[in-house]
A and B are shown apart, each in its own frame.
Chain A
Amino acid sequence: MAINPVPDHVPPEMVRDFSLFTSPGMPPTPNGDPHAAVACAHDGPPIFYSPYNTQDGRGTWVITRAADQRKVLQDTETFSSHRSIFSSILGETWPTIPLELDPPAHGAFRSLLSPLLSPKRVTALEPAVRERAIALIDRITASATSCDVMKDFAFPFTVSIFLRFLGLPDQGLDTFVGWAKDLLHGDDVERPVAARKIVAFIDELATNRRKDPVDDLMTFIVQAQIEGRRLTDGEIRGIGVLVFVAGLDTVAAAIGFDLAYLARNLKDQELLRSEPDRILLATEELLRAYPPIQLIRVATKDIDFEGAPIRKGDYVSCATMIANRDPEEFESPNTVDLAREHNRHAAFGYGPHRCLGSHLARREIVIGLEEWLARIPTFRIKEGTAPITCGGHVFGIENLILDWS
């Protein structure tokens, strides 16, 4: 990874050796706890500069306080989302939509897609989500008293829900998960190859749905109008790629971290098993403790922000896992308290770009935990195994072997 130099305008005393990619606890670590590892950011100044805090080795300003992250993410004029994270892998600059569009262009696309993922719509999807969770868990318990939660449950569950949403058959599941892995955790050769496959796939799907419309998301997009016109091929691609990538990794990682926590904390596990009504609130606390995402914005102008000389073009990092451990926002932030109230965590971001899939993601996690706890007796991490965790662009857990024999 090429590491970019610290720009001249950054005062040397504001530079801190910190990265979600390379700091201790961030590379793949057996029995790791990357969320606890980043909580150390609160030992220092509220804003600092990290020289290498992105997938491509660029530095970022790191905003540690939840209140400051809220300010950054709500101020889309000063802090732009137009970063072309995905297309830059291909050496291109088109945005994924709506994530990498700024207001006002952002608004039209956001309102086009919002109803598809509104709380109401998600309630309607709930029976299908539950059915899928039950089927997967029943298949596991039919033949074993142990499994790899990531491979056998978390990934097939979350990916199949969103494949259904996109209108794709389940057969593609392993292929898609493979692309996502290469894209998010692969090396400099694997990433562009995966990105190109995803683009080709989305383009082809759009072409097919234009010819033969069915009742699915891609058909909706190719037929949709904004501001009295059809969407361009580039816009359709931008939406398709975002929906594809956003749904693949994040919810599965959350479920993995949550079940790992419950496997290690049997009291909490029994509490939720005997009083399943608590799962709804507990899920918010688990989202606070184990969020998977770092949000990055680009400064559109020179600004002195809370003492930091941010200059046009600088990257500004709002890591949800840091905001969620802010002692000024949360009492005892490093303690998981499943009954915590007023849990205004940052797992889905703040501001106009608040995760569009948040309502679906929440329901998937709640239902996944409900059905898992209802069907699997007291489970622990299988003796002799150690789940491997990693930091990075999306925090993840690579394997989680649970045992209930």
Chain B
Amino acid sequence: MRIIVHNAKCQGHARCWAQAPDIFKLDDDGYILPGDIQVAEGEQLLASQGARSCPERALEVDRTSAARFGPAAMQPRTGEA
């Protein structure tokens, strides 16, 4: 599973981060860092909860990528730089 991050829509509510601070990383002003987020298998529920709590609809859950990339747990997470 992958979370597509629409940075232009992020307004720094930090709701995603409040749900899952290890998955959703914020910059110093409280806005999400750029880059889509590859979610490990065990974190899928938490990640989708975080994504679904974004008031701006800035986070999109993409479930197709798991099929494309194989087991998501094997994927490194991007979006941390």
Contact = CB atoms under 8 A, between A and B. Distances in A.
A151 interface: no
Contact of A119 (B9, B14, B54, B56): B14
A329 to B, nearest CB: 10
B11 A119 contact: no
B43 to A, nearest CB: 17
Interface stretch (A258-266, A304-312, A339-347, A391-399): A339-347
B63 interface: no
Nearest to B50: A342
A70 B14 contact: no
A354 B49 contact: no
Contact of A344 (B15, B17, B28): B15
A359 B17 CA distance: 12
B29 A111 contact: yes
B55 A344 contact: yes
Contacts of A350: 11, 55-56
B55 A119 contact: no
A354 B11 CA distance: 7
In this complex, the interface size class of chain B, counting residues with CB under 8 Å from chain A, is: 10 to 19
Interface in B1-44: 9, 11-15, 17-18, 26, 28-30
A285 to B, nearest CB: 12
Contacts of B14: 119, 359
A354 B14 CA distance: 11
B49 A341 contact: yes
A358 interface: yes
Nearest to A355: B13
Main secondary structure of the interface of B (DSSP, over half): loop
Contacts of A119: 14, 17-18, 26, 30
A115 B29 CA distance: 5
A93 interface: no
B30 A359 contact: yes
A52 interface: no
B53 interface: yes
B45 to A, nearest CB: 11
A348 B30 CA distance: 15
B29 A348 contact: no
Contact of B28 (A74, A118, A351, A359): A118
B12 A344 contact: no
A120 interface: yes
Contacts of A352: 11
Contact of B29 (A118, A342, A351): A118
B49 A345 contact: no
A385 interface: no
A225 interface: no
B9 A74 contact: yes
5 contacts: A70-B56, A74-B56, A115-B29, A342-B52, A344-B15
Given A115-B29, A120-B30, 4 more contacts: A342-B52, A344-B52, A344-B54, A350-B11
